């Protein structure tokens, strides 16, 4: 069985974008009230006394938009300085990154994933739900800043939606030819986006690979990720192409992660809502840390039974939380 040692930590459920596939505009979201967010102290306590002792050593900060979390740089520093932290990374939309890239790097962050679904500013703004101000340029500057500061690997996350950005697959893949960047195509999932998923559908990774193979050639990469992505490369390209195929394939047997939401719910599987436990409520009710450790250990034991395979396949809108609320 795979060792589960990777925790994705949502720092905040709010976001400065409203990506159509994540927080569709028009859908009312109940944001977590500030007093319901795990505080920095509670998060660090849980990491030191609960997660690290049961075997978690790799952490990713996500959201919502993690750079909106007040004090995010200090938090990065605190997590990076825990002696047991073997890996600390962040997933961001990049909008606030140009100003923060150096500080984050100095605080100890080394790996970053930036979401970029389009190279076309108009399409980009349509996807992120802002038709008044163009945000693409600022995100692109954030990516350049992260590159210059030295984030390595620098990964770009792409969600392809038919009829929205599927015509850009080759352009996005071509970014890896001359740059040591890693572009990762994530299959579009039906989480909190009922009508978009229902009307557009999704494209599976195999189709994307075929298109890229026909245009540029494609080979299995020597680079191996330690996550769910299948890694390929355009021959002689400097960067790689990753495919995360949670819709078309089942990689539950390789799953090495759990998710902690910004309000302290620990979730064993992204696509199955069973088994979640409210660590914040327990912590605030005074439950002993030893007891919390035991409960997380138990969850690790039953995790293989709580997985994507068990979800109701093919249904949409079946999830009570959006990606921004879960911590994607």
Residues at the contact surface with ligand SF4, assessed by CB under 6 A: 15, 17-19, 22-23, 63-65, 93, 115, 323-324
Task: Write out the E strands in 46-94.
Answer: 58-62, 87-92
Distance CA 24, CA 120 (A): 20
Residue with tokens 């040692």: 5
Which residues, other chains included, contact 270 with Cβ-Cβ below 8 Å and sequence gap of 6+?
A: 191, 246, 259, 308, 326, 328
215: left (phi over 0), alpha (psi -120 to 50) or beta: alpha
Q: What is the radius of gyration, based on Cα positions, of the chain?
A: 19
What angle, rounded to 10 degrees, do the helices at 97-107 and 136-149 form? 30
- Residue 78 touching ligand SAM (CB under 6 A): no
Between 18 and 147, name the residue whose CB sits nearer to ligand SF4. 18
- Residue 91 touching ligand SAM (CB under 6 A): yes
Which residues, other chains included, contact 285 with Cβ-Cβ below 8 Å and sequence gap of 6+?
A: none
Between 158 and 237, name the residue whose CB sits nearer to ligand SF4. 158
Between 22 and 149, name the residue whose CB sits nearer to ligand SF4. 22
Residue 191's binding partner, choosing from ligand SAM, ligand SF4, none, with beta-carbon cut-off 5 to 8 A by kind?
A: ligand SAM
Out of 186, 218, 241, 296, the residue judged to bind ligand SAM by CB under 6 A:
186
Between 115 and 221, name the residue whose CB sits nearer to ligand SF4. 115
- Residue 233 touching ligand SAM (CB under 6 A): no
Q: What percent helix, strand, coil does the chain show, rounded to 5?
A: 40, 15, 45
Residue 23's binding partner, choosing from ligand SAM, ligand SF4, none, with beta-carbon cut-off 5 to 8 A by kind?
A: ligand SF4
Instruction: Give how far Cα 200 sits from Cα of 120, 162, 197, 247, Å.
Output: 20, 6, 5, 15
Residue 18's binding partner, choosing from ligand SAM, ligand SF4, none, with beta-carbon cut-off 5 to 8 A by kind?
A: ligand SF4
- Residue 165 touching ligand SAM (CB under 6 A): no
Between 205 and 325, name the residue whose CB sits nearer to ligand SF4. 325
Residue 242's binding partner, choosing from ligand SF4, ligand SAM, none, with beta-carbon cut-off 5 to 8 A by kind?
A: none
Out of 9, 12, 22, 234, the residue judged to bind ligand SAM by CB under 6 A:
22
Between 104 and 218, name the residue whose CB sits nearer to ligand SF4. 104
Q: Which residues of 297-325 are buried (b: 16+ CB within 10 A; e: fewer)?
A: eebbeebbebbbeebeeeebeebebbbbb
Residue nearest to ligand SAM (CB): 328
CB of 101 to ligand SAM, least distance (A): 15
Binding piece for ligand SAM, criterion CB under 6 A, among 33-41, 85-93, 167-175, 266-274: 85-93
**β-sheet bridge partners, residue 266:** 260, 277
Which residues inside 114-153 make contact with ligand SAM, applying CB under 6 A? Answer: 115
Distance CA 64, CA 261 (A): 10
Q: Contact positions toward ligand SAM, by CB under 6 A?
A: 15, 21-22, 62-63, 65, 91-93, 115, 157, 159, 186, 188-189, 191, 193, 323-324, 328
């Amino acid at each position: 069985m795979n060792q589960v040692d990777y925790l994705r930590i949502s720092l905040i459920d709010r976001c400065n974008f409203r990506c159509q596939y994540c927080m569709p505009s028009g859908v009312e979201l109940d944001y977590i009230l500030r007093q319901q967010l795990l505080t920095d102290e509670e998060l660090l306590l849980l990491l030191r006394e609960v997660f690290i002792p049961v075997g978690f050593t790799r952490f990713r900060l996500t959201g919502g938009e993690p750079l909106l979390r007040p004090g995010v740089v200090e938090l990065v520093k605190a997590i990076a300085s825990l002696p047991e932290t073997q890996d600390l990374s962040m997933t961001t939309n990049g909008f606030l990154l140009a100003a923060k890239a150096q500080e984050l790097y100095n605080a100890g962050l080394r790996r970053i994933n930036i979401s970029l679904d389009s190279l076309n500013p108009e399409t980009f703004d349509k996807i992120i739900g802002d038709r008044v101000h163009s945000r693409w340029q600022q995100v692109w500057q954030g990516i350049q800043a992260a590159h210059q500061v030295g984030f390595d690997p620098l990964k770009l996350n792409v969600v392809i939606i038919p009829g929205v950005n599927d015509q850009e697959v080759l352009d996005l893949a071509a970014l890896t030819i001359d740059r040591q960047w890693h572009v990762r195509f994530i299959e579009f999932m039906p989480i909190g986006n009922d009508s978009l998923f229902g009307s557009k559908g999704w494209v599976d990774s195999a189709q994307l690979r075929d298109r890229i193979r026909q245009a540029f050639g494609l080979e299995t990469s020597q680079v191996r990720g330690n996550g769910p992505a299948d890694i390929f490369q355009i021959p002689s390209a400097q960067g790689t192409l990753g495919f995360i195929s949670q819709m078309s394939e089942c990689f539950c047997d390789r799953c090495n992660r759990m998710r902690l939401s910004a309000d302290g719910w620990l979730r064993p599987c992204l696509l199955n809502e069973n088994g979640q436990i409210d660590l914040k409520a327990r912590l605030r009710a005074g439950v002993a840390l030893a007891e919390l450790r035991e409960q997380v250990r138990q969850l690790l034991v039953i995790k293989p039974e709580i997985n994507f395979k068990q979800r109701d396949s093919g249904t949409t809108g079946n999830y009570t939380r959006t990606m921004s609320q879960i911590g994607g």
